[in-house]
Amino acid sequence: MMTRTPLSALAVAALLAAAGLGLSACGFTPLYGTPGVASALSAVHVTTPEGRVGELIREHLDDTLAHNSNAPAVYRMDLQLGEARYPRGVRVDNVATRYEYVLSAVYTLVSTSTGATVKTGRVRVEVTYDSADQPYASIAAQQDAQDRAAGEAARKIELELATWLTKPKTPKKP
């Protein structure tokens, strides 16, 4: 069954938006509504270790952060990755039918102008996948799990960076 939004609710929302009384009237500022967050995220150059997962997470981070390759990088992000695979579903003949794939990413954000480390962080992502009896299907399932984990890790890193960028920076005392 289809539900419809009453016209009166749409009219109220339109009036509030036209009057500038949207979410900002209640003191809430959207994360990306903070000045400079989106441009700072797009000025992050990501360096990752070699390998399939390193390339996957770099691609996801470039997409997630909206990397602008035409602008100079303000920050450089160095990533270290750790992977683990654990059998979770075991048949009677002691063959695993399901695996848990764990991706850990430790990142360091470095200012390109000063060379100083400005932020460090760590994210961990766990995904599961089925292991088929056919070798190609099993490899494809594992690669899909790697891609999903890299995408989720990139999303978590983006949220951590965006949150960090919205906080006022106070100079460290020597």
What does the pLDDT look like over 127-136, one tens digit per residue?
999 888 888 9
**19 pLDDT more than 60:** no
What DSSP string describes the chain? ------HHHHHHHHHHHHHT-SGGGGT---GGGSTTHHHHHHTEEEE--SSHHHHHHHHHHHHHTT--TTSPPSEEEEEEEEEEEEEEEE-TTS-EEEEEEEEEEEEEEEETTT--EEEEEEEEEEEEEE--SSHHHHHHHHHHHHHHHHHHHHHHHHHHHHHHHHSPP-PPP-
Higher pLDDT, 53 or 171: 53
- Give the pLDDT confidence score for residue 133 in this predicted structure: 80
Specify the pLDDT at position 127.
Answer: 96
Q: Which pLDDT belongs to residue 108?
A: 96
User: HSE (CB half, 13 Å, CA atoms) of 42?
Assistant: 10
Which tokens is 140 given? 């494809």
The yes-or-no verdict on residue 6 having pLDDT over 80 is no
Looking from the CA of 119 toward its CB, the CA atoms found within 13 Å total: 17
**Which pLDDT band holds residue 1 (cuts at 50, 70, 90)?**
very low
Strand order in the sheet with 75-90: 44-47, 75-90, 96-111, 117-130
pLDDT in tens, 53-89: 999 999 999 999 988 888 888 999 999 999 999 988 8
**Please, what are the domains in the chain?**
31-166 (3.30.160.150)
> What pTM was computed for the model?
0.76
* Residues 107/161, Cβ–Cβ less than 8 Å: no
Question: Does residue 10 register a pLDDT over 50?
Answer: no
pLDDT for 162 beyond 80: yes
Query: What mean pLDDT value characterizes the chain?
Result: 82
Lowest mean pLDDT, pick from 2-16, 90-104, 117-131, 143-157? 2-16
